Amino acid sequence: VLTQSPATLSLSPGERATLSCRASQSVTFYLAWYQQKPGQAPRLLIYDASNRATGIPARFSASGSGTDFTLTISSLEPEDSAVYYCQQSTNWPAHTFGGGTKVEIK
């Protein structure tokens, strides 16, 4: 089970956002992060726990291993308003997703 916190994060442009994803048991580094905007499919941000996907801005970074993972947006832009999901594949081919964190830009 992946638990994401907080459920909602409300910050101003330029501020730093820190999102958490905690696994009920170790997933080593088999974790990904996604951004989803209303009416769109999830977009892969981070693969293998800490690698930015193609075309993802450098303000997005991620770290962690085992059970605790963090997605950081270093300086929020208005277009970063979205729901962010983590996903694990430690029991490949099975995949599970976290419940999401909504990031609101004030």
Partner 1 sequence: QVQLQESGPGLVKPSQTLSVTCNVSGGSFNNGNYYWNWIRQFPGKGLEWIGHIYYTGSTAYNPSLKSRVTISIDTSKRQFSLRLDSVTAADTAVYFCAREDCSAGSCYVGFDTWGQGTLVTVSS
Residues near partner 1, by CB under 8 A: 29-32, 34, 40-44, 46-49, 53-54, 83, 85, 87-89, 92-97, 99-100
Phi, psi of 43 (to 5 degrees): -120, 125
- Any idea of the CA torsion for 22, 93, 37, 57, to the nearest 10 degrees? 80
Give the nearer residue to partner 1 in terms of CB position, either 12 or 94.
94
CA dihedral over 92, 100, 72, 67, signed as positive or negative:
negative
Q: Shortest approach of partner 1 to residue 47 CB, angstroms?
A: 4
Q: How near is the Cβ of 26 to partner 1 at its closest, in Å?
A: 14
- Please say which residue, 15 or 81, places its beta carbon nearer to partner 1: 81
Q: Which is nearer to partner 1, 17 or 30 (CB)?
A: 30
| Amino acid letter, residue 5 | S
The 8-class DSSP code of residue 40 comes to: S
